[in-house]
Amino acid sequence: MSNNQIDLLIKNATIVTMNPALEIHQPGALAIKGDTITAVGPEKELSPLESTAREILDAQGGAVLPGLINTHTHAAMTLFRGLADDLPLKTWLEEIIFPAESRFVNPDSVYWGSLLACAEMILSGTTTFADGYFCMDGSVKAMDESGMRGVLGQGVVDFPAPGIPDPTANISEALRFVEKWGGFSSRIEPGIFCHSPYTCSPDTIRTVKEICRGEQVLFFIHAAETLEEVSLIKSRYGKTPIRHLDNLRILDPQTVIAHAIYVDSEEIELLAQTRTAVAHCPESNMKLASGIAPVVEMLNKGVLVGLGTDGCASNNDLDLLKEMDTAAKLGKVRYLDPTVMDARTVLRMATIEGARVLGLEKEIGSIEIGKKADIIFLDLNRPHLIPCYDPFSLMVYSAQGSDVHSVMIEGRMVMENRKILTFDIDEVMDQVIRISRGIISGE
């Protein structure tokens, strides 16, 4: 192949670039060489590239977007989807989920549960996700096999965890995980997930954060998720969860806080000043009746906010298109203002802002020259997507995960015409059903 030749030219597409100008090319085209986008623009401007393309793909007028980015989930918790619904968070976590995890979470079950999550995310247009769980070697194996991109955080708590019966070994296991998988793949980055300020002591949180700084990896933590948590942390440490983390010197650009529902104006300023990122998970927050995060204030103050689904045990799906619709409407209800959380803002949260949350904005999050070819294709020839006056509004308020027909990651098709190409989805579903039968029977 000559230096001027490209591998793929995609044409006849509505290209929603999510670049700084939020340009839309309609009809548009884009060129890919290897794993990288080399040209994007109006179709008529890129038509000369047809003679240099090894392959030409006609998008048939469909939408082409950057792959969606899920900034907070627990992939292997697909194993517990629907196991314990309609319960308060504390009851759900301590009486159902933690006991189930202690018995049924192991490297094999995490592999199959994570692979099922990868299937669900690919099928609904997510190409990158941030994961936090236990026995994470299994999650790395699943992500590597699926072809997806992400940051995978080994979980740390101050009590026995799946695969770590001795709680004093939780931190050393997290360090082992980071050292083992750092540099393993261009698509996979390790991190550490401290569960929360109420399950991790100040010493644990500080120690893990110092490891993350030394290894230059992301630090993830749930915080300010419920009123009960706020009360507990204030009674223990005399501070709210965010102020407690600030006191521990945790807040910085390499920290991602999941939920951040109960934060006041001073704490929002603190998050903005320290450039600490937030993963907003509206559907999980609603389902567990945790509350509604003040996302508009965060965005107005310059806090970096991405969108997350949380895990399937508390959502119960991983469809980020659906999450966008919920995020937009919930924000409008909170503020009784139909103009806030507009479609452009929310789609940015699921793409380029999500990339910034994970420190990947130079690689992904928008369709621009030099970025990785992580793109998704949506069929717009569907009753609920006609007519299309505004592609941003269409994606946020009308599109569904099932409208995604093909997905490319690093220039490689991982799904084409609704068929996953990287692994056997039927085998994955069979294996998870097998595991679920054991959970039901208690064996």
Of 335, 357, 379, which residue constitutes the final position of a domain? 357
- For residues 18 and 240, give the distance between their C-alpha atoms in angstroms, rounded to a whole number: 36
- For residues 255 and 213, give the distance between their C-alpha atoms in angstroms, rounded to a whole number: 10
**Residue 117 within any structural domain of the chain:** yes
**Residue 426 within any structural domain of the chain:** no
Domain that holds residue 91: 68-357
Q: Which amino acid is at 214?
A: G
Q: Is the pLDDT confidence value at 149 over 50?
A: yes
Domain match, 30 and 80 both:
no
**Residue 429 within any structural domain of the chain:** no
Domain match, 36 and 176 both:
no
Average pLDDT, the chain: 96
- For residues 247 and 57, give the distance between their C-alpha atoms in angstroms, rounded to a whole number: 54
**Residue 255 within any structural domain of the chain:** yes
Token pair for 237:
């440490």
Cα separations in angstroms, 288 against 223, 230, 250, 329, 356: 15, 16, 26, 18, 27
**Residue 428 within any structural domain of the chain:** no
Confidence (pLDDT) at 102: 87
- For residues 33 and 7, give the distance between their C-alpha atoms in angstroms, rounded to a whole number: 5
Domain match, 243 and 330 both:
yes
Gyration radius from the chain CA atoms: 21
Q: Is the pLDDT confidence value at 429 over 90?
A: yes
Q: For 312-330, what is the mean pLDDT?
A: 96
CA angle 43, 364, 312 (to 5 degrees): 115
CATH number at residue 41: 2.30.40.10
CATH number at residue 126: 3.20.20.140
Of 357, 382, 411, which residue constitutes the final position of a domain? 357
Of 357, 381, 412, which residue constitutes the final position of a domain? 357
Confidence of residue 10 (pLDDT cuts 50, 70, 90): very high
Domain match, 112 and 52 both:
no
Confidence of residue 440 (pLDDT cuts 50, 70, 90): confident
Domain match, 56 and 83 both:
no
Q: Is the preceding omega at residue 66 within 30 degrees of 0, hence cis?
A: no
The reply to whether the predicted model has a pTM over 0.95 is: yes
In tens, the pLDDT along 337-374 reads 999 999 999 999 999 999 999 999 999 999 999 999 99
Confidence (pLDDT) at 441: 83
Q: For 262-280, what is the mean pLDDT?
A: 98
Q: Are 410 and 372 in contact (CB under 8 A)?
A: yes
Nearest to 133 by CA among 200, 199, 81, 72: 72
Domain match, 178 and 277 both:
yes
**Residue 22 within any structural domain of the chain:** yes
Q: Is the pLDDT confidence value at 30 over 50?
A: yes
Quote the distance between the C-alpha of residue 327 and its chain's center: 14
Domain match, 214 and 338 both:
yes
**Residue 362 within any structural domain of the chain:** no
Q: Is the pLDDT confidence value at 3 over 70?
A: no
Q: Is the pLDDT confidence value at 2 over 50?
A: no
Q: Could you give the number of structural domains in the chain?
A: 2
Domain match, 269 and 303 both:
yes
Domain match, 269 and 344 both:
yes
Confidence of residue 97 (pLDDT cuts 50, 70, 90): confident
Confidence (pLDDT) at 443: 67
Domain match, 276 and 162 both:
yes
Question: What does the CA dihedral 156, 162, 166, 170 come to, rounded to 10 degrees?
Answer: -20
Provide, rounded to the nearest whole percent, the portion of the chain with pLDDT above 90. Answer: 93
Confidence (pLDDT) at 234: 98
Could you give the 3-state DSSP secondary structure of residue 8? strand
Burial label, 42 (beta-carbon count in 10 A; 0-12, 13-18, 19+): middle
Q: Are 422 and 406 in contact (CB under 8 A)?
A: no
Q: Is the pLDDT confidence value at 44 over 50?
A: yes
In tens, the pLDDT along 155-214 reads 999 999 999 999 999 999 999 999 999 999 999 999 999 999 999 999 999 999 999 999
Q: Is the pLDDT confidence value at 1 over 80?
A: no
- For residues 351 and 361, give the distance between their C-alpha atoms in angstroms, rounded to a whole number: 9
Confidence (pLDDT) at 390: 97
Domain match, 211 and 75 both:
yes
Nearest to 190 by CA among 361, 352, 412, 358: 358
Domain match, 337 and 383 both:
no
**Residue 220 within any structural domain of the chain:** yes
